[in-house]
Amino acid sequence: MSKVHVFNAGPCLLPQVVYDRAIEAIKDFKGTGVSLLSISHRTKEWEATMEETRALWKELLNIPEGYEVIFLGGGASLQFLYVAMNYLENKAAYLETGVWAKKALKEATGLGNAYAIASSADRNYCYIPKGFDIPKDLDYLHITTNNTIYGTEIRHDMDCPVPLIADMSSDILSRPVDVSKYEMIYGGAQKNAGPAGVIFAIIRKDGLGKVSRYLPTMLDYRTHIDKGSMFNTPPVFSIYVMNETLKWVKSMGGVEEMHRIDVRKADTLYAEIDRNSLFRGTADKEDRSIMNVCFVMAEGREALADEFLAFSKERNIIGIKGHRSVGGFRASLYNACSQEDVDALVKAMQDFETLRK
């Protein structure tokens, strides 16, 4: 079968070596004679995998002392509640840059005084708000660094006078991050760090325990830090695949090299969107995401959208249909997406232009 070019927004494409190692572990986990799907999380072999996974996160992102890395189920959407439960005491602000940022804010408003400090909803989230003032009496400022549906991204680490919490679900491991600028970083693994079923959270330990509300045991980050993410049975399979994905990132040269590769892929595709008479980008150029490239048919050519999707599918290009809430097209260029994949999409766009110009 010829190569399939996968641009799914999530779960993401993973490296072939990760699939291969996961298959072997399902058959026999580390020579135990037991499948990864049946291994006890209390065995020394699994405990070593957990520790290695934490160590890989710390190495790849150069996480400083005073932080811990935990792994939980429930997806990033459950973290919207976790964050507010653990950090919101008096007042918190959220930068509203898309659907997921808005959903995170909604959970916080259910628990206390939380508001949108700035929003790009006025232009359908096609840009990142700038120049807003950050009050110094906030418990925290929450940002969503990459907006998968609208294709915008905060590609730098903000200087923030209050604790900064970031949902980095869809751009973690795509660029170096100064972790010391954040109170907490969290995200679902299924965009760049592994399969669906597990989240990572990088937490400054001395920032916890400052709220007066009752914290249910399972919703208290300290519970999971103290128990090494094994207070209850962890999502073993998902963490194992995350472990292998982190090993692959390291083998590729680390986050710095991934950033170089990812920028090149994004530049290739954006250049074609800007050149091609049949397409146009939807995000402001200065805020374009290198992870999720969103575009539509050019004005007056909207009727060709379904035809282009079919044309692309004939060339084994899948996953480029835009989110159902906005339509158009979206090519997700997560780390395992190759330059070859991007080049195939660009060639399809060029050939379609020739056909329909």
227 in any annotated domain: yes
How many structural domains comprise the chain? 2
**Which residues are tagged catalytic?**
100, 167, 191
Using the 3D structure, point to which of 226, 251, 276 is the last residue of a domain.
251
Whether 40 and 159 map to the same domain: the answer is yes
Whether 146 and 280 map to the same domain: the answer is no
Whether 109 and 238 map to the same domain: the answer is yes
- Given this model, what pLDDT does residue 1 score? 58
Q: What is the CATH number of the domain that holds 77?
A: 3.40.640.10
- Given this model, what pLDDT does residue 325 score? 86
9 in any annotated domain: no
pLDDT lower than 50: segments of the chain? none
Region for residue 6 given its phi and psi (left: phi exceeds 0; alpha: psi -120 to 50; beta: otherwise):
beta
Q: What is the pTM of this model?
A: 0.97
Whether 131 and 59 map to the same domain: the answer is yes
Whether 99 and 212 map to the same domain: the answer is yes
- Given this model, what pLDDT does residue 2 score? 81
Whether 138 and 286 map to the same domain: the answer is no
Whether 231 and 269 map to the same domain: the answer is no
11 in any annotated domain: no
Whether 85 and 29 map to the same domain: the answer is yes
Using the 3D structure, point to which of 251, 267, 292 is the last residue of a domain.
251
Whether 205 and 347 map to the same domain: the answer is no
Angle at 170 between CA 313 and CA 340, to 5 degrees: 40
Q: What is the CATH number of the domain that holds 352?
A: 3.90.1150.10
Residue 167: which of 68, 99, 101, 249 has the closest Cα?
Answer: 101
Q: Domain range spanning residue 168?
A: 17-251
151 in any annotated domain: yes
Whether 95 and 240 map to the same domain: the answer is yes
10 in any annotated domain: no
Residue 261: which of 330, 157, 334 has the closest Cα?
Answer: 334
Residue 158: which of 199, 129, 191 has the closest Cα?
Answer: 129
Contact 97, 125 (CB under 8 A): yes
Using the 3D structure, point to which of 210, 234, 251 is the last residue of a domain.
251
Whether 234 and 317 map to the same domain: the answer is no
Distances (CA, A) of 287 to 12, 126, 138, 302, 309: 22, 8, 26, 24, 26
Separation between Cα atoms, residue 17 and residue 249, nearest integer Å: 11
270 in any annotated domain: yes
The pLDDT tens digits of the residues spanning 93-110 come to: 999 999 999 999 999 999
Whether 35 and 56 map to the same domain: the answer is yes
